[in-house]
A and B are shown apart, each in its own frame.
Chain A
């Protein structure tokens, strides 16, 4: 008979690391979030202020604006990545000339650090010096200035994110598609299903776990996006996402208490969003089966 103690003993290093570096910081942020704490205030100690920080953020126009921007960014970026990733994965399930080379080139952005991606795109789009504004102006008479037009900054951030992360979605989708057994697809075709019906009733249900996992990962990534966008536009209007807003509150403003409360709410919103998405997708499909 196996001794459960051995199992716990073997698990203990991982558990200790998780507790130390995962759970303890979370508890600390939770504690700080209920205090007023700015090291550059006249009274620089922690002062318990109950729910004041949370009440404050409900009326904080800058925070609410950042949530709105982040939501728009996440919807457009992830939506585009899923569609593009699926199309590319479908393409990669077939053979075509140069497939291996395409796969390598397509995957390259994944290997670039987010901060470097931001720097590359900044060099591409910086007004006055970057090739993108130059050619857009020269060929289409289009004024492209991310510093002057917040919408352009947001769309540039979305396109940059799509360029960076679509390969990840492609790879996960490709893995999902490769794992689908051939029999149900062939059976559906024999039964007279067209391509759309095969996709909707066979491929998509089989892809659901992969799709959900991918979307969850991308949602969490999108909500905490900081470095890429920071390099691109400095978190100015149009790109002052929640992650950047938190960074500004916690670091330059050193408002640790308020910054912690925003972090907690952001975490809560992320969990709720993922849960709703899970219910929406898995619940709907479950209903369909019934």
Chain B
């Protein structure tokens, strides 16, 4: 017994010694590789999101401590982030050394040759290549940031899907279950189709009213002063009805049904009509809500169910200081129309938005080498799990198996498992090199439909015509 104990002790000691040696080696490598750049400051810009804030608050400080390279990381609003990054890259001013590249804008950036080919750049600077950074360790989400040759242009820093969240405490309440069954003739449960979603929404809105509670049936990301409403319709609601690629046929260069598009087609009109009808069951802030406010609404316990970006799932489910519904958050796939899941499984469609982004180095950067070190630092396996637990984002395949994530998965009702197993049913934005330009054209029509100034059919018909006009102006039209 004593021998066995001594043996175990020796093994443990050896492991600890080995770990500390490896750790010391890693420290040495970062310090040595960064020595020529110590004291330099690299600057970046991103949207203020849970994963970005973790970068700003935690990872940047760790990197500076290891390398002596300072990281000034600006987390700002979504609109400002784009403006600042694009202006800097277009004018070649070199203010930013790394920029956030949202999945949907990568095609525009690549078309303009704004970004450094990271695979090539690392190969050209072998002395800066960190051995534990491996491009093949990323999930397939990284493919969105690669060119045809498989070279990477952005280090994925967040990836998540927009899921269906619901309040377990409300859905599993015995009185609610009985009342719902008595009224609708079937059991109260998280929605699996749009009719059920509507019944749930109507039931809980009426319940909130009868109990004089601030509770409504659903979230709706329907801001009339922000593109978030267009995004919810085109990237979440539309696909779940079978409207893909924003209804734009890139080959035909048109969004109009008459010319091969589908933005004004029956499926699109049905999807928009359904989504707008949900406003009846949404809290009053819905028409002022972007993705942030939707998450806040759900976290405040003001909605029984809703479409919520996955990056918020972890804090809503676990952070008592910010959320009133911790421990009561259920996670499911968003509801879909018949045939949509099957189409997604066959690779002929998708059920919702696989969102996320990466950090890339603009050609205009004056500190490319130091920034390459930084991007490898945030792309290495050892920082992924904690980051994923805080920001509900996973970019490394191995992170799914980390014990920390397994523990967090149970608290978030299997969100991470859903992301791993059913993530392929979702898809990123279509490969448009004119993403923001066309979305800006569609925005006013969706906003006027929300306000009731246009019917869904009129809004989409006018939007499709305006999109075609803009495509033509941009040189991508018929």
Contact = CB atoms under 8 A, between A and B. Distances in A.
Interface string A57-68: 000001000000
A176 interface: no
A19 B225 CA distance: 37
Contacts of B227: 252
Nearest to A38: B474
B476 A128 contact: no
- Most chain-B Cβ atoms within 10 A of its Cβ — which of A40, A41, A237? A40
Interface in A141-174: 143, 145-150, 153
A254 B223 contact: no
Interface in B143-193: none
Contacts of B447: 236-237
B112 interface: yes
A43 interface: yes
A56 to B, nearest CB: 9
Contacts of A235: 225
Interface string B108-144: 1001100000000000000000000000000000000
A218 B302 CA distance: 41
A44 B60 CA distance: 36
Contact of B451 (A42, A128, A143, A237): A237
B362 to A, nearest CB: 14
A85 interface: no
A35 interface: no
A147 B285 contact: yes
A236 B224 CA distance: 5
A239 interface: yes
Nearest to A258: B473
Given A128-B297, A148-B287, A236-B447, A40 B224 contact: no
Interface in B420-478: 433-434, 436-437, 439-441, 444, 447-448, 450-451, 453, 473-476
Nearest to B296: A129
A281 B86 CA distance: 45
B287 A147 contact: yes
A240 to B, nearest CB: 8
A140 B444 CA distance: 32
B209 to A, nearest CB: 14
Contact of B284 (A39, A128, A236, A255): A128
A254 B287 contact: no
A149 B447 CA distance: 11
Interface string B298-332: 00001000000000000000000000000000000
B274 to A, nearest CB: 19
B226 A145 contact: no
A128 B224 contact: no
Nearest to B89: A39
Contact of B112 (A44, A133, A153, A233): A44
Contacts, number: 107
- The number of chain B residues touching the other chain, given as a range, is 35 or more
A265 to B, nearest CB: 19
A144 to B, nearest CB: 9
A177 interface: no
A147 B223 contact: yes
A252 B288 contact: no
Interface string A226-259: 0000000111110100000000100111110000
Contacts of A42: 474-476
Nearest to B477: A42
A242 to B, nearest CB: 15
Interface string B77-112: 001001100110010000000000000000010011
Given A133-B284, A145-B288, A253-B440, A40 B223 contact: no
Contacts of A252: 79, 82-83, 227, 436-437, 439-440
Interface string A18-37: 00000000000000000010
A205 interface: no
Contact of A239 (B83, B225, B450, B453): B225
A44 B475 CA distance: 10
Contacts of B225: 147, 153, 233-237, 239
A35 to B, nearest CB: 13
Contacts of B437: 38, 40, 252-255
Interface residues of A, number: 34
A128 B475 CA distance: 44
A147 B439 CA distance: 20
A150 B474 contact: no
Contact of B224 (A62, A143, A147, A251): A147
A127 interface: yes
B79 to A, nearest CB: 7
A202 interface: no
A132 interface: no
B474 A145 contact: no
B420 to A, nearest CB: 34
A254 B436 contact: yes
Contacts of A237: 224-225, 444, 447-448, 451, 453
Contact of A39 (B90, B288, B440, B473): B90
A226 to B, nearest CB: 12
B112 A253 contact: no
A253 B436 contact: yes
Contacts of A239: 225
B283 interface: yes
A126 interface: yes
A41 B473 CA distance: 8
Interface in B202-236: 214, 222-227
Contacts of A149: 451
Contact of B283 (A128, A233, A251): A128
Contacts of B433: 40
20 contacts: A40-B108, A40-B433, A41-B434, A43-B475, A127-B284, A128-B284, A128-B297, A128-B302, A143-B284, A145-B284, A145-B288, A147-B224, A148-B287, A148-B451, A149-B451, A234-B225, A236-B226, A237-B444, A251-B79, A255-B437
Given A40-B437, A237-B444, 14 more contacts: A41-B475, A42-B476, A127-B283, A128-B214, A128-B288, A147-B222, A148-B450, A233-B288, A234-B226, A237-B224, A237-B451, A237-B453, A252-B227, A253-B440
For the complex of A and B, 4 pairs with smallest distance between CB atoms? A234-B225, A236-B225, A42-B475, A147-B287
Interface of B: 79, 82-83, 86-87, 90, 108, 111-112, 214, 222-227, 283-289, 297, 302, 433-434, 436-437, 439-441, 444, 447-448, 450-451, 453, 473-476
